[in-house]
Structures are given as structure tokens and as C-alpha cells.
A and B are shown apart, each in its own frame.
Chain A
Amino acid sequence: MTEHPTTHAGPQITFSGLDHAALADRTRRWGWVQYAGYRDAAERPFLGTTLAVALGNPVLYLAAMGLGLGSIVQQPVDGVPYLTFVAPGLLVSTVVSTGAQFGTWPIFGGFKWQMNYLAAQATPLEPKQMAQGEALAIGVRLLVQALLFWMIGFAFGAWPSPGSVAMVPIAMLAALAMFTPLMAYAATLQEEGLQFNFVQRLIVMPMFLFAGTFFPLGAMPIYLQWIGWVSPMWHGTQLARMVAFGLDVPPWLAVVHVVFLVGLFLGGLWAAGRTFTRRLVR
């Protein structure tokens, strides 16, 4: 943030008794955290709903997929029982789906209907910081959601070792890698946001179904496997399987998974800073 001079001769106390320059300085440095605090407060009335969904999803999915579907999948998959195989995929894919959902209508609505970004633009906050604040607030939410899923799965016996808790940050990273590029895109839309239907149906849904959540990617014909390779869900799921039951992944591929997710997250965040700025400063 070099475009703003941040040094002052001394405190500049105005008639209101506040040092406005110091306040603005603080916002330029910590505004993204303040914005995340605002997001948190805005989500607070829906805490009960959020928790119900975050607790209900793992119970339903683990019971239906792991136990129901698992009982007709007789042979082991990737060397483990079906429940053990599918559970990490369910954790990652539900958290990533939430990330994708928050990257679409809620961001778009902030520009178009609720106009909270327009309100924030009237403060020293920069558009880039709003995008960072969104990512922080959503990241915390996703972390909690992943942690609840992990705890329920642990009680279910879906993952044997306590070390599998490492899936929680993995799921958060994968979800943020989905969230930030969508956030960047959402800020560019002007009309009703009908495009998100295409995003949901033609991007998120195929990733959920084809990208190795329910069966190994290798079970698909090769011309469909690329859906997994470009999907944050698949990269996250593979990492989660490594820590959950020790899926055999060569080290170079594990590095590729991490680099892909971090790259997508940071690239999306950078792009969102650009599109937020273009939308708000003109």
C-alpha cells in the first residue's frame, strides 16, 4: 500500500478530538481484519442455521454414502474399505461446495443488492482489503465447518488416526482455492447474476461428481479425468486421503497438489483485488 503516505509529523487532533490520520492509518494496515469482523457480525444472526447445516451434512453423507453405498461396494477401494475411502472426499467436497457458494451470490449481492462494498468504499478501506477480509472471514467459517465434520467423522470411525485432523486445514485451503477465483469473477458481473447457475451446474457439480470424491479418478475414462486435474476438490481430496489413511501418492505429486491449491488461492485473491478495485473505483 505504497500509494498512501503513512508518515505524519505528529498526531493531528481535529476539533472532534480524534486523530483521523492515525485512524486512517490503522484502517489501511488492519482494514482487511476489520472487514472480516464486519462479515462475521453480518453472519451472526444465521449462526444457528449454519451450525445445523455444518453438523447435519456430515451425519447424512457419512451414513448414506459410507454405510449405505458402502454396503453394496464389496471390494476394497484403493486398498481400504469404502467408508474409509469416501469419507475424506466427502469432508473436502462439502467444505469446498460451501466455499464455492459463498464466492457467488453473496459477493455479487454485496455490489448489487446489499451494497455493503459501496458502504465500505466510503471509508479509508481499499477494495483489495475487502476481498482479503472476505477471504479471512470465509476461511474461518470453513475451518469451523471442516473441524465439525472431522469430529463427527472421528466419532463415526471414518478415519482411524487423530493425525487425520490435518484434513481440516487442507479442506479449508481447497475451499479457499475455489472461493477466491469465483469471488474475482462475481465482482465483474453487472446484471442479475444468472451466470452463477452455470457455475453451479457446469463447474461445481461436475467436480463434485467426477473429481474422485466417490470413486478413484482412475475409474473414469481418460477423457473425463481432466475434470479432476483442474479441480481444487480433487487436489484437496487426494491430500486429505494421504493424511486420513495413508493413500500412496508420490511426493512430487503431493507437492503439485499443494502448489496448485496455494497458487489458485493466491491468484484468485490477487484477481479479486483487481476486480473489486475496477468495480468500486471508476
Chain B
Amino acid sequence: MSLDVMAPIRARLAARPTWLGALYAGNARAVIERGFRVIRNANWGVIATGFFEPVFYLLAMGVGIGALVGSVPGPDGRPISYAMYIAPALLATSAMNGAIYDSVNNVFFKLRYSKVYEGMLQTSLGPMDVAIGEIFMALFRGLLYAIGFLGVLAAMGLVTSAWALAMIPVALLIALGFASIGMAVTSFMKGFQQLDLVPMVLLPMFLFSATLYPITVYPSRSSG
């Protein structure tokens, strides 16, 4: 009797919950592995540039607007510099942007133009493997940006407590939420023009969520 090379795979497929059978092959790892290979071979430069986005925001807003604003009241009421005020919000924003970029623009491109997923679905992989794998990659990107930006903040002297490290899991949680919803929304899109609707939803969150100024500037009904 010949060695059954398919045995472990068959065992894995049999171990799935039956109600997921049609969607999931239990092998999201293959999609993740592909993601890392693509980063290594093709687009690490693209990922690296995403890191500059929050840094540019911090410089422009912290230096430029900071010169107009002066200081703002901190959480305990004491005035802090404007750059210090916006830094944590920009970290959260960069995690959101990194996750959205991977799960909206990149997923749309692979879905509509390069047809990567069609290729994947020709194998034993199911749509859920693809989704989990891609969301994991989006999270990885969010993690990279969060760590990088935290490093920049520390270098600029804007971090005053070791608790700042807790921002990284928070950023990952943000990235998970946005990546999942972003990917779900993208699956309905028909043209690249519709991708513009995503920033239309993100922009109010970015602009009105006390990113750039304290929420107390609003009338109290809309704050929160």
C-alpha cells in the first residue's frame, strides 16, 4: 500500500465544523504565507511608504497648526502641546488607514483586476480562508504602522509613560474592526469610483472624533 500523502489534509478537512464546510478549508495559513511572500518580493516599498503618512500628519499638524493653536487642555486639564495632544489619535488613525488600505483598495484590485482570488478558489481553499488570510495581513500591516509610529513618537519626546505600549493592542483592535468591515463592503463594489465612498465614511470619523481638536468644542449633544 502506497503512502497516503493526502491523509493529513483529509483529516484537516474532516475536522471542520460541518456548517462551514462549503466556505472554509481550514487553511488560511496558505493565504497568509502568500501575503508574506508578496511583501518580501514585491511591495515592501509600498508598505514602507504607508509609515510616512502619520509622520507627515504629525509634522504638518503638530508644527504648522501647533503654531496657530499653541497648547490645548490635556486629559487632566493641564495644558499640553498640540503635537502631544494629536499623537495618540494619529496612531489610531494610521492603524485604521493601514487596515483599510489593505482590505479595501488591495482587495478590490485583487478581486476585480488581477483575479488573485479566482486562482485561490480553484484550489481547495474556500472564501473564508481567503477572508481570514487577508484580514490577518491587514492586521499585520496595522501592527507594523503602530510600532513604527510609536517609535517616531518616542524619538520626538512625545511619549511620557511606558503605558504608551498599550496603544499597540488598541491599534490592532481598531485595525481588526476596520479590516473586517472594509472587506465586507468591498465585496459589493463594482467600480473604482465607488472606492471614494470609503473615505467619505472614514473622513467624518477622522475629522469629528476629537483627532485634531478636543471634543469639547462641540455642543454637548453630539459629543461622544
Q: A60-B203, A60-B207, A219-B67 are in contact. Are A201 and B217 (CB under 8 A)?
A: no
Q: Does A68 contact B (CB under 8 A)?
A: yes
With A205-B56, A214-B60: A68-B49 Cβ-Cβ less than 8 Å:
no
**Whole-angstrom CA separation of A220 from B67 in the bound complex:** 9
- What are 11 of the A-B contact pairs (CB < 8 Å)? A50-B196, A61-B207, A64-B207, A71-B217, A72-B214, A109-B192, A194-B45, A201-B49, A201-B52, A205-B53, A220-B63
Which residue from B45, B65, B72, B196 sits with its C-beta under 8 Å from A215?
A: B65
B68 touches A206 (CB 8 A): no
Residues of B within 8 A of A115 (CB): none
Which residues between 97 and 121 of chain A lie within 8 Å of chain B, taking CB atoms?
Answer: 105-106, 109, 113
Interface of A is mostly: helix
Number of interface residues of A (CB under 8 A): 41
Smallest beta-carbon distance B89→chain A, Å: 13
Q: Is the CB of B50 within 8 A of A201?
A: yes
Q: Which residues of A contact B197 (CB under 8 A)?
A: 49, 52-53
**B63 / chain A contacts, CB cutoff of 8 Å:** 219-221
Per-residue B-contact encoding for A193-214, CB less than 8 Å = 1, 0 else: 0100110011001100110001
A77 within 8 A of B: yes
Check if A163 is an interface residue, CB within 8 A of chain B.
no
**Interface flag for A266 (CB, 8 Å):** no
Known: A68-B212, A72-B214, A209-B56. 10 other contacts (CB 8 A): A49-B193, A52-B200, A63-B208, A64-B204, A68-B213, A71-B213, A71-B217, A72-B69, A201-B52, A210-B59
Cα–Cα distance between A134 and B164 once the two chains are bound (Å): 49
Question: Any chain B CB within 8 A of the CB of A12?
Answer: no
**A residues less than 8 Å from B169 (CB atoms):** none
Contacts of A57 in B (CB 8 A): 200, 203
> B64 in the interface, Cβ–Cβ < 8 Å?
yes
B191 at the interface (CB under 8 A from A): yes
Proximity bits, A45-68, B CB within 8 Å = 1, else 0: 110011011001100110111001
Let me know if B208 and A68 touch, CB within 8 A: yes
Report whether B65 and A56 are in contact in the complex, using a CB–CB cutoff of 8 Å.
no
